[in-house]
Structure 1
């Protein structure tokens, strides 16, 4: 205290030593920490951000659980096992496994309890529908590409090679609808796998062939109609998810 005036001692963030008056060192250190810990997007995320024109949507895409490297490798291993079984037995197991594997991946594209970025995506300006749509399309595309590669390598007939893509669409739509309604990826996986198992077994009973579910083109309108109904359920469910607990 000098001549009746009070001088204030401003200390740094660590409490050691004075700081210049008028300088908020706390804010300065927050800025330094932000620069030090700032996450720099990888090349894939930067490319996705450029294509989607949304860094937030790109971040949501690359954090999709079923698009992580470990999941993609596991999917490739399952399809490789189906490829080897097809080559050794002649039964097109790739065509039977691909829809089930894709359904599991689609179910895990949905977030509550599974996706580490779920809470963040609910608070962003990007709608839940858009995040889910981009993720679902990406997962479907990756699984379709892996399945087609394995199916072509197995040397099966053309009808079997591409015939599973339509039922795969229906099974994936079922898995996604169940996951969004129940808000549980595990429920979506269970619904997708059960639905596909029932379809395959029903086709075998009706036609006497295990591959009837993927080779009978007469079933395609039913598959597409069912997929459209499931997509409508997903759109309706995601309409009410924003901002809910």
Structure 2
């Protein structure tokens, strides 16, 4: 199964066992979970969940929702199950390839079934950049050609009418992501994430409502680090679970 580490998120409220090598949960997961408006009774689907960091952090804020973790890697899915048990979350872990409709349906991921979908999709597609030789990292970072649109179409398909999708992605792919999302979602709210106030954005967060026709809104940016190179008070509070981006 390989070596794992046990890490603490949200100031220790979430314990996360994850592989010591390859893709590991970090600030992106914290920001995505902090942008999730979860209500009691919601069906929340964490698509591309890996070991469950995003869904578990969302569950730490709202225990009264039903959480489903979708992960195609069986090793990561088993760690996700362990993390659900360790954190007292009665989450369902679905081992499925989100890009494959048959795979989704086989594990009960039915269309129009989710109130909220959270996703941190692989940032690259084959042919766009050199892919890591590490198998786990490569799988987490790269989709097949055309995979981003297929991924987002599948996420939108899981949503009930008026359900919400929340995603984090690389800032240099914002135009492509918005072009795709506008096929199914409206009321898009966009927030850019900057490493410091004087540097270009490196990430963006976007949420949208299935079937809405509302226009795009640009929210205030998030600045991760102050002039001293350390996290700003807001970023620190987000990592401790004492603030959110709702």
Which bin holds the TM-score, normalised by the shorter protein?
under 0.3
More strand by share: 2
Scaled by the length of structure 2, what TM-score is found? 0.26
More helix by share: 1
Scaled by the length of structure 1, what TM-score is found? 0.26
